[in-house]
Each structure stands twice: as C-alpha cells, then as structure tokens.
Amino acid sequence: MSSPTASPEPLPASPDDEEDRAVGKLFAVLLAGEYAAFYRLIDESSMAPDIPSGIAIARMAASEIAHFELLAEQVSRRGLDPADSVERYRAVFDQYHRATTPRTWLEALVKAYVGDGLAADFYTELSEMMPPVAQRVVAAVMAETGNSQFAREQVTAAIAADPALRSPLTLWGRRLLGEAVTHAQWVLAAEEGVTDLLFSGAASLNGVADFFDSITARHAERMSDMGLG
C-alpha cells in the first residue's frame, strides 16, 4: 500500500484518462439509444400489415441488438455498467420516441428509414471526432447494416400508388429530423465531457453547427430517396 499524502487535491487525471472517460460516456449514451430503439421498433411494428414486413422489422431489431452488444462491451471495458448506462440516458430517447409516435404503418416505415439513417449519420459524424480506438468501435457498429431498405421501397411504392401521401409524409419526415436534432442537443448539453470530446478541436469553433448541418443535408438526400421532400 502507498502511504497517504497530506495533499487535499485529487490527482489530476491524465488527458488520456479524461478522453477515455468521455468516450465511455458517449458509448453509454449510444447504448441507451439502441436499447430504446429496439423496444420502440418492435412496439411500432404491431402495425405491420404482413409477414414479410414483420420479418424485415425483426431483422432491423436484430441489428439494433448487435449494436447494443458491441457498445455494451465497450462501456463495460471503461468501468461503466451497461444497465446503469441505459437507466441514466434512456429518458431522452424515450421522449424522442414519444414525440414521434407514428399513427400509420407508412409513418412507422418513414420513421424506421429516417431513424436508421440518422443514427448512421450520427455515428459517422461522431467517429470523425473521436480518438482512433473509438473510431474502430463505431466502424464495427456501422458495419452491421440497419436493414432498412425495405422501408424505403415500401414508402416509394405507396407514394407512387397514391401521390396525395407525399405531402403529409414529407412534413412527418421534417418533424422526425427536428425532434432528433433537438433531443441530440439536449444529450450533448447535459454531458459536458462528451461535448468537449466531440467539439474541442482547433477547427471546431463552428463544430456543433457544422455537425447538425451535415446531418440535415444527408437527411434531405434520404427523404428524396423515398420520393419525399
């Protein structure tokens, strides 16, 4: 045992320790997001009109659990408990899902496709600002595809068959983006270490704004993929 010192100050954490703690927190946030997304997706799938849709939803759910497992391992390695992490951060994701509860199967499909894409965008943007070891984790999560192409195809076909659906679904897509950005900002604002990790680079004076601009641009492409916007 080392002898106690008289100094009242805690030892300053090394920059690496601090960075690793912030990465752990960020992964804990993402873990809670995957947990919420899994249960919400299944819940919303109760509107699925047929077995092929039910199978497609089950496949998306499986890839969310695969993401969850990858992140849970990383969170545990950094001394955090996965269940506690979900507990700590899930409220904001549950709130996002409550604010974006689909009323129809088509709204559920748009949400699935947009949500899957937004999650992938967040992971991509985040990964560019992360230390290399964390980047590899994010790349592994991303490599597990979200299986949401079926949603895009069904929405495109539905709009082709009934063009009157286009305008309300476009508004719905905008609302999904707005709520996602709002809730993401809440999470970032609540966890200072995470914000510092992501937006403290020399070129990042406009970091937060650029981050959301880039996500907005890719969202517009995705809406257009579905024949919306």
Judged by the rule CB under 8 A, the positions of this chain that interact with a copy of itself are 35, 38-39, 42, 50-52, 54-55, 58-59, 61-62, 65-66, 68-69, 72, 82-83, 86-87, 90
Helices 15-44 and 51-77 cross at an angle (nearest 10°) of 160
Helices 192-199 and 166-190 cross at an angle (nearest 10°) of 110
> Least distance (Å) from a copy of itself to the CB of residue 35?
7
Instruction: Read off φ and ψ for residue 129, nearest 5 degrees.
Output: -100, 5
Among candidates 44, 39, 133, which has minimal Cα distance to 93?
A: 39
* 211: Cα separation from own chain's centroid: 14
Among candidates 79, 81, 73, 85, which has minimal Cα distance to 33?
A: 85
Minimum CB distance to a copy of itself smaller for 59 or for 218: 59
> Least distance (Å) from a copy of itself to the CB of residue 43?
8
Minimum CB distance to a copy of itself smaller for 89 or for 96: 89
> Least distance (Å) from a copy of itself to the CB of residue 79?
18
> Which residues touch 135 (CB under 8 Å, ≥6 apart)?
127, 128
> Least distance (Å) from a copy of itself to the CB of residue 92?
15
**How many Cβ atoms are within 10 Å of 120's Cβ, its own excluded?**
17
Minimum CB distance to a copy of itself smaller for 65 or for 220: 65
Minimum CB distance to a copy of itself smaller for 18 or for 69: 69
Residue with tokens 């609302």: 175
Which segments of 6-148 does DSSP mark as H helices, in order? 15-44, 51-77, 82-99, 105-128, 132-143
> Least distance (Å) from a copy of itself to the CB of residue 42?
5
> Least distance (Å) from a copy of itself to the CB of residue 76?
12
Minimum CB distance to a copy of itself smaller for 66 or for 220: 66
Minimum CB distance to a copy of itself smaller for 83 or for 205: 83
Contact 131, 19 (CB under 8 A): yes
> Least distance (Å) from a copy of itself to the CB of residue 25?
17
Minimum CB distance to a copy of itself smaller for 9 or for 50: 50
> Which residues touch 108 (CB under 8 Å, ≥6 apart)?
44, 45, 47, 102
